[in-house]
Structure 1
Amino acid sequence: MGKNVNEMSFLDHLEDLRWHLIRATGSVVLVGTFAFIFSRSIFKYIIFAPLDMSFPTYSFLCKASQFLGVDTSFCNEELPMIIQSRTMAGQFSADIWTSIFAGFIIAFPYVIYQMWKFISPGMRDNERKHSRGFIIISSLLFFTGVLFGYYIVCPLSINFLANYNISEVVDNQIDISSYIALVRSTALASGLVFELPIIIYFLTKVGLATPQGLKKYRKYALVIVLILSAIITPPDIASQIIVAIPILILYQVSIFISKIVLKNQKKKALKNG
Structure 2
Amino acid sequence: MSDKQEEMSIVEHLGELRRRIIYVLAVLLLGLVIGLVCANPIYQYLVSVDSAKDFQLHAFAFWDGIGMYMKIAMVVALVLTIPFTAYQLWAFVSPGLREIERKAALRYVPYVFILFLAGIAFGYYVVFPMALGFTTTITKNMGLTETYGISQYFNFMFTLVVPIALLFELPLIVMFLTKLRILNPRRLRKMRKVSYFALVFIAVVITPPDLISDFLVTIPLLLLYEFSVYLSSVVYRKQLAADEAIEARYKQEEGDPE
Interval containing the TM-score (normalised by the shorter chain):
0.7 to 0.9
Pairing partner for 1:197 from 168, 171, 180: 171
Q: 1:175 maps to what in 2?
A: 149
Q: Kindly tell me: are residues 131 and 267 of structure 1, through their superposed partners in 2, closer, same or farther at Cα, counting changes over 3 Å?
A: farther
Which among 195, 219, 229 is matched to residue 252 of structure 1? 229
Q: 8 Å contact 2:90–2:105 — kept in the other structure? A: no
Query: Structure 1, residues 84-136: CA drift from partner, whole Å, max 9, x if none?
Result: 22222121122123212211113332222222211212211222123331111
Distance 1:163 1:234 in 2: 14
- SS of 1:9's equivalent? helix
Alignment RMSD, CA only? 3.8
**Match for 1:141: what amino acid?**
L
Residues 126-167 of structure 1 show CA distances to partners (whole Å, capped at 9, x for unaligned) of: 221233311112222222112111111111112212222263
1:36 aligns to 2:33 (yes or no): no
Q: Cα 1:118–1:145, aligned 2, differ >3 Å: closer, same or farther?
A: same
1:42 Cα deviation after fit: 0.7
Give the conservation status (yes or no) of the 8 Å contact 2:171–2:231: yes
- Is 2:82 aligned against 1:108? yes
Contact 2:79 2:113 in 1 (8 A): no
* Shift in Å, 1:34: 1.8
- TM-score, structure 2 as length reference: 0.73
CA contact (8 A) 1:200 1:258 kept: no
Q: Distance in 1 between matches of 2:73 and 2:199?
A: 30
Deviations 1:19-54 (A, max 9, x none): 11111121122122122122111101136635346x
Give the corresponding residue for 1:94.
68
> Bigger radius of gyration, 1 or 2?
2
What does residue 253 of structure 2 align with?
A: none
**CA shift in 2, pair 1:177/1:260, >3 Å:** farther
Q: Which residue of 1 aligns with 2:18?
A: 18
- Percent identical pairs in the alignment equals 22
Kept in 2: contact 1:36–1:95 (CA 8 A)? yes
Correspondent of 1:128 among 102, 106, 118: 102
Residue aligned with 2:165, SS: helix
Instruction: Identify the range of structure 1 (241-250 vs 100-109) with the bigger mean alpha-carbon deviation.
Output: 241-250
Q: Please, which of 83, 103, 112 is the counterpart of residue 138 of structure 1?
A: 112
Residue 255 (structure 2) aligns with: none
In structure 2, the gaps of 5 or more residues are 1-5, 251-258
CA distance, structure 2, for counterparts of residue 14 and residue 141 of structure 1 = 30
Report the CA distance shift for 1:239/1:94 in structure 2 as closer, same or farther (over 3 A). closer
- Offset at residue 203 of structure 1 (A): 4.3
Residue 241 of structure 1, CA deviation: 9.6
SS at match of 1:88: coil
TM-score by length of 1: 0.70
Aligned to 1:59: none
State the alpha-carbon separation in 2 of the partners of residues 240 and 14 from structure 1.
Answer: 38
- The one-letter amino acid paired with 1:14 is L
Q: What is the CA distance between 1:234 and its match in structure 2? A: 7.8
Structure 1: gaps spanning 5 or more residues? 1-5, 54-77
